[in-house]
Amino acid sequence: MKLTCKSALRLALYALLPALLNAQADWGPDVRLTYFWGYSYDPRAACNGDTIHLVWWESYAHEEVFYKRSTDTGETWGVDVRLTPEDNITAVLPTIAVWGSSVHVVWKEQTVYYQAICYRKSENSGETWGSIDTIYKTNQDGWYHPWISAHDSNLFVVAIKSGTGGELVFVKSTNNGISWSTPQIITSAQDRPRIENFKTDAVFLVVAYGDGTEIYSVRSFTAGEVWTDSQVVSDNDGIASQCPAMNTDDSSGIHITWYDYKYSPYPWTGDIFYRTSRDSGNSWEPIDSLTVMHRARHSNILAEGNDLHLVWDDDRNGFGENEEIYYRMSTDLGQTWGIEVRLTDALCHSRDPSLVCDGNYLHLFWSDLRDDSNNIVGEIYYKRKDLSQGVVELESLVPTLHLWFELYPTLFSKAITIRYSAWGKGQRGLNQAQDNPAMPYAQCIKVYDITGKKVIAKRKMEIGSIGEKVQMDTKDLPCGVYFVELQVGKVREVHKVVKIK
């Protein structure tokens, strides 16, 4: 019996289905952790053994920092603990670090008169909390995105100070937060610094940060007393690389991710890029692009043994209306990567993912608006991945759908003509129409304006094998920039066009 391409694809999917289900089954259900009537932002977590510590900030009548914990690897969760007094002082952007039974939290504090970086700790694994300490305070400059790292009694904090274009500021404590050093300006910076020390060494520090255009790293081999010159990690191409995330591994490796829109027609989202150094930052491997849908933004990366875990928020499923959390894993510290796994599937936005690992489970936290269709009230959600079953490598098994399309003219007036084709992995491509006799995928073409509003949609079109053309009437559209999106199955491609008259 002759096996058609369509039949072969179905057989491959049937063969792959148990492995796919197994990969999905590693992740537990979504669990809602907060029940505020305001918006819950920016979850950050750390763990020690079976105890997971979580901080976030709430925006309701006030902006305050909250904490909760689980002492049984996420099975159950304790009560919410407000770490900041409920007053007219804004408290936002907390981060957390844990060493043994000591839990350390820093955040930004702001009034109309001053801004500050504040600190609070628990020395009994979150049971009780000490008083609030102000690490640095100013009535002139703003403070943004503090980040803390801990190693034994050594604490390291970086933050962005506004003024003079923005500066990267570093402070440390060598006595478990009892006292703090004088703030030290390392270099100019503007965007989300992350500080890490290598897990076995409190002396070697590395910071990843952005300057508004590129991503950099800077290192210290003297526990922050002296810093090296900054190294450019991103492409240095003038396209804004934003929101760096970083983690270090057990073998002198540094892993940094960020997003930019160099390959994207959208100026507000892009792709997740990754770069690693395997020798403490002395040399860097080539940049790798880990997404291709051009709709990714905030990422978080975590190294655990030989594994890397990457999560990010992505709006490919709703174009500004429905961000979801996606996940990829590497079992060889970033040399190769497994397939994408979509972790959330709910109405409205799932944003700002954060990861922590206790060795047995990978714990994911994010801010989610599924409980309010008006996109006003967000809550913190949680799920975990069981690491005890090992890893199923699926990359080589997944049947890939390739998509190609072009449109003309790119400067249009009354109509746009679209020509496109799609074929499966292993088929011979565009010049072999007879190899693709029946495309078993739904098709859709949409046009969006510069604000992301959908203005034209053509759905469930009948397409041929190759060279199929569709003409769209655009005479009623006002002049301006538009994005034309073609979707075949779950694969999307987008091109930018401009109506001139």
Dump the DSSP string for 166-200: -EEEEEEESSTTSS-PPPEEEEE--EEEEEEE-TT
CB 47 within 8 A of CB 99: no
Strand partners, 415: 473
The answer to the question of residue 390 being in a domain is: no
d(CA 280, CA 261): 28
DSSP-derived 3-state class of residue 11:
helix
Can you give the pLDDT of all 501 residues of the chain as single tens digits? 343 434 443 444 444 444 444 445 589 999 999 998 889 999 999 999 999 999 999 999 899 999 999 999 999 999 999 999 999 899 999 999 999 999 999 999 998 888 999 999 999 999 999 999 999 888 777 778 999 999 999 999 999 998 777 899 999 999 999 999 999 999 999 889 999 998 777 889 999 999 989 999 999 999 999 999 999 999 988 888 999 999 999 988 999 999 998 888 877 789 999 999 999 999 999 999 999 889 999 999 999 999 999 999 999 887 777 899 999 999 999 999 999 999 999 888 999 999 999 989 999 999 999 987 676 789 999 999 999 865 544 443 344 566 677 888 888 888 888 877 766 544 433 333 334 434 445 577 888 776 667 788 776 554 444 456 778 888 889 998 888 887 776 666 777 788 888
d(CA 323, CA 319): 8
The answer to the question of residue 60 being in a domain is: no
The answer to the question of residue 244 being in a domain is: no
Q: According to DSSP H, which parts of 75-201 are helical?
A: none
d(CA 485, CA 470): 13
pLDDT reported for residue 465: 44
CB 432 within 8 A of CB 375: no
CB 482 within 8 A of CB 497: yes
Question: What sign does the dihedral 53-192-226-177 (CA atoms) show?
Answer: negative
Question: What sign does the dihedral 115-301-55-376 (CA atoms) show?
Answer: positive
DSSP-derived 3-state class of residue 23:
helix
Q: 146: closest CA among 186, 197, 92? A: 92
pLDDT reported for residue 452: 65
Q: Beta strand pairing status for 411-412 and 491-499? A: parallel
CB 165 within 8 A of CB 213: no
d(CA 269, CA 296): 6
CB 259 within 8 A of CB 239: no
CA 480 to chain centre: 31
The answer to the question of residue 40 being in a domain is: no
Q: What is the Cα gyration radius of the chain?
A: 24
Kindly report the backbone phi and psi dihedral angles of residue 21, in degrees, each rounded to the nearest multiple of 5, phi listed first.
Answer: -65, -35
The answer to the question of residue 443 being in a domain is: yes
Within 13 A of 174's CA, how many CA atoms are on the CB side? 8
d(CA 140, CA 192): 20
pLDDT reported for residue 137: 86
d(CA 351, CA 367): 5
CB 169 within 8 A of CB 184: yes
* Predicted TM-score of the model (pTM): 0.76
∠ CA 11-14-19, rounded to 5°: 130
When divided into structural domains, the chain yields a total of: 2
pLDDT reported for residue 482: 84
Which tokens in the block code for residue 55? 């901080």
pLDDT reported for residue 373: 67
As a whole number of angstroms, the longest Cα–Cα distance in the chain is 80
Give the CATH number, domain containing residue 406.
Answer: 2.60.40.1930
Which tokens in the block code for residue 428? 């011979």
Residues contacting 362, CB < 8 A, separation 6+: 302, 304, 309, 355, 356, 384, 385, 387
The answer to the question of residue 364 being in a domain is: no
Which tokens in the block code for residue 296? 């990714």
Strand partners, 161: 143, 167
The answer to the question of residue 360 being in a domain is: no
Find the distance separating the first CA and the last CA of the chain, reported in whole Å.
Answer: 57
d(CA 307, CA 20): 19
Strand partners, 137: 116
Residue 74 DSSP label = T
pLDDT reported for residue 431: 38
Distances (CA, A) of 243 to 240, 256, 258, 380, 388: 10, 10, 5, 20, 31
Determine the structural domain holding residue 475 and report its residue range.
Answer: 400-499
The answer to the question of residue 293 being in a domain is: no
